[in-house]
Chains A and B, each alone.
Chain A
């Protein structure tokens, strides 16, 4: 079955960087994009961007441009999301999601809590 397994919780200081991983299994990794979606505590869902696992093309939400980088390692079917210059309002659960060509998030990772605190 399709599974996306994310790395564990992180605690970071303001200004630091975090890199979250998402290991896919149960399907052909390069057949679907991977999106990243975050959810601040008690808040709604915010799309951060996607990466094509086929050719590495990316699309990022404008508000995160310059601070976020999404990459993949096709040899291990793993996607990564790095967020730099962390602020307290980056505290959130970060999800990876297998993304169909139209933008539908058909399968999700379990989420990774990133806490930014001094």
Chain B
């Protein structure tokens, strides 16, 4: 099974900051990676698919990059509504697997 490791596990930043979350796969997954945002008590929401494609309706301050084993999710200018936990997910091989999550808080 493919293991996904995110860092950091939690992050505190100020409004307007540039924030980057990383995700590492235990083996090469090409660009078969998605990013989700989950707010407390809510279902996850798709942000980025195929590593770098912005889902319809997602603000352009979100971007994704990477391929192979190393991936990033970047928020160019943090907004208060971005407070959430972010998960990466690989779909290169079954079973699909998620990172452990990165909890983003406002400083």
Residues of chain A at the chain B interface (Cβ within 8 Å)? 35, 37, 44-47, 59, 61-62, 95, 102-111
Could you tell me if A105 and B32 are in contact, using CB atoms closer than 8 angstroms? no
Count of chain B residues with Cβ under 8 Å from any Cβ of A?
Answer: 21
Q: Determine chain B's interface SS by DSSP, over half rule.
A: loop
- Cα separation A108 to B45 with both chains bound (whole Å): 7
Q: Is B106 an interface residue (CB 8 A)?
A: no
Could you tell me if A105 and B89 are in contact, using CB atoms closer than 8 angstroms? yes
Binds A, one of B19-27, B74-82, B90-98: B90-98
Cβ distance B84 to chain A, nearest Cβ, rounded Å:
13
Cβ distance A26 to chain B, nearest Cβ, rounded Å:
14
Select the residue from A37, A44, A62, A106 with max chain B CB neighbours within 10 A. A44
Render B47-78 as a binary contact track against A, CB cut-off 8 A, 1 for contact: 00110000100000000000000000000000
Residues of chain B within 8 A of A108, CB atoms compared: 43-45
Cβ distance A47 to chain B, nearest Cβ, rounded Å:
4
Residues of chain B at the chain A interface (Cβ within 8 Å)? 32, 34, 36, 43-46, 49-50, 55, 87, 89, 91, 94-101
- Cα separation A104 to B94 with both chains bound (whole Å): 12
Could you tell me if B36 and A46 are in contact, using CB atoms closer than 8 angstroms? no
Could you tell me if A111 and B43 are in contact, using CB atoms closer than 8 angstroms? yes
Could you tell me if B43 and A44 are in contact, using CB atoms closer than 8 angstroms? no
New contact pairs (10) apart from A45-B44, A102-B91, A104-B34, CB-CB < 8 Å: A44-B98, A44-B100, A46-B98, A103-B96, A104-B49, A105-B89, A106-B46, A106-B49, A108-B45, A109-B43
Cβ distance A106 to chain B, nearest Cβ, rounded Å:
5
Could you tell me if A47 and B34 are in contact, using CB atoms closer than 8 angstroms? no
Q: When the two chains form the complex, which single residue of A47, A62, A102 contacts B97, counting CB atoms closer than 8 Å?
A: A47
Q: When the two chains form the complex, which single residue of B91, B95, B97, B98 contacts A104, counting CB atoms closer than 8 Å?
A: B91
- 30 residue pairs bridging A and B, Cβ less than 8 Å apart: A37-B44, A44-B101, A45-B87, A45-B101, A46-B98, A47-B95, A47-B96, A47-B97, A47-B98, A59-B94, A61-B95, A95-B43, A95-B44, A102-B50, A102-B91, A103-B32, A103-B91, A103-B96, A104-B46, A104-B49, A105-B34, A105-B36, A105-B44, A105-B46, A106-B49, A106-B55, A107-B46, A108-B45, A109-B43, A111-B43
